[in-house]
Amino acid sequence: MSQRHVTASRCFVLSVLIVLQCIFGCGMDIDQDITNRTQDALVSTPISADVLWWKQLSQTDRNRTILNQATVDDGKNVGLQCKTWVQQRVVPNASRSVAIIPATCPDANGWIWCLGGNAVGISTSPQNFKSGYIVQMNIKRADGSITPHTSIVYAIDAYGIWWIDSNYVAVNTVGMHYQTFLAFLSSVYIGGQYKYSTYYVGS
């Protein structure tokens, strides 16, 4: 084989190796670059300080924060009815606008909240309520009419519940009132069913 042919063969082999390197080697570099860019993007988009703060609180502390915010309005005419006060004022202010309370289902006259937001529904008896829990209910009035109501549990004792809510002690006014367990259960027992649902505001 002549020297010219040997040189040509070497050049061909070298060209093939370069092409293969570009196909496979360069492709791997591109994939790695995409991965690096994705990781950089994730690192450069931190969770907001308020979201992180709310998530890091224990549930007991979240309940306490909501209750503390509610008591700020005690005795004030806030211009809001019960559910609106909780949904648009107490929870947003307590959570620094992180937590969201869903609408009431099937409509505003119901006693169960729709799915979504940060509300976590639990099945429990009134004796097991905790401070900061929120209770959605239908109340049977003395005249037989039924009205929806939203209250926050302030505290419980051996006999009943201290509530803090709006539009109960006076129109659009926040206040506290006491109800025995028996009185509460009697007021929400409608059509053979206890019409109340209990929630805490999670992360």
Residue 97's pLDDT is 97
Q: Are residues 163 and 67 in the same domain?
A: yes
Q: Are residues 74 and 39 in the same domain?
A: no
Retrieve residue 39's tokens. 């990781």
Number of domain units in the chain = 2
Q: Are residues 57 and 12 in the same domain?
A: no
Residue 32's pLDDT is 53
Retrieve residue 107's tokens. 């409509």
Q: Are residues 92 and 15 in the same domain?
A: no
Q: Are residues 22 and 53 in the same domain?
A: no
Print the domain residue range for 24. 1-45
Residue 28's pLDDT is 40
| Cut 0.85: pTM above it | no
For the chain, strand residue ranges (E) read 104-105, 112-113, 119-122, 134-140, 146-156, 160-170, 173-180, 189-190, 193-194, 196-201
Name residue 136's beta-bridge partners. Answer: 150, 197
Q: Are residues 88 and 120 in the same domain?
A: yes
Q: Are residues 97 and 54 in the same domain?
A: yes
Q: Are residues 107 and 123 in the same domain?
A: yes
What distance in Å separates the CA atoms of residue 59 and residue 95, rounded to the nearest whole number?
Answer: 12
Q: Which residue has the tokens 């803090």?
A: 164
Q: Are residues 109 and 133 in the same domain?
A: yes
Residue 47's pLDDT is 82
Please report, in angstroms and rounded to a whole number, the separation of the first and last CA atoms in the chain.
78
* Domain end call among 9, 28, 45: 45
pLDDT at 184 exceeding the cut of 60: yes
Tell whether omega for the bond before 46 is within 30 degrees of 0, i.e. cis: no
Tens digits of residue pLDDT in 126-179: 999 999 999 999 999 989 999 999 999 999 999 999 999 999 999 999 999 999
Q: Are residues 109 and 156 in the same domain?
A: yes
Tens digits of residue pLDDT in 187-200: 999 999 999 999 99
Q: Are residues 93 and 24 in the same domain?
A: no
Tens digits of residue pLDDT in 54-112: 999 999 999 999 999 999 999 999 999 999 999 999 999 999 999 999 999 999 999 99
Tens digits of residue pLDDT in 17-63: 444 444 444 444 544 554 455 455 444 457 899 999 999 999 999 99
Q: Are residues 185 and 134 in the same domain?
A: yes
